[in-house]
Amino acid sequence: MYPLKRNRRLRTNKAIRSLVRETIITPNDFLVPLFVVEGKGVKDEIPSMPNYFRYSLDLLEGEVKALWKLGLKSVLLFVKVPDNLKDNKGTEALNPNGLMQRAIKTVKNVCPDMLVMTDVALDPYSAYGHDGIIENGQVLNDKTVDVLSEMSISHAQAGANFVAPSDMMDGRILSIREALEDEGFTNTGIMSYSAKYASAFYGPFRDALDSAPVDLIDIPKDKKTYQMDYANRFEAIRETEMDIDEGADIVMVKPGLCYLDIVREIKNDVDVPVAVYQVSGEYAMLKAAAEKGWLEHDAVMMEQITAIKRAGADIIASYFAKDVVKILNT
Question: Which residues lie below 8 Å from residue 26, measured CB to CB, with a gap of 6+?
Answer: 328
Tell me: cis bond preceding 213? Omega within 30 of 0 counts.
Answer: no
Amino acid found at 105: K
Query: First CA to last CA across the chain, in angstroms?
Result: 45
Q: Count the residues in the chain.
A: 330
Q: Which residues are catalytic?
A: 196, 254
The CA-CA-CA angle for residues 158, 163, 168, to 5°, reads 140
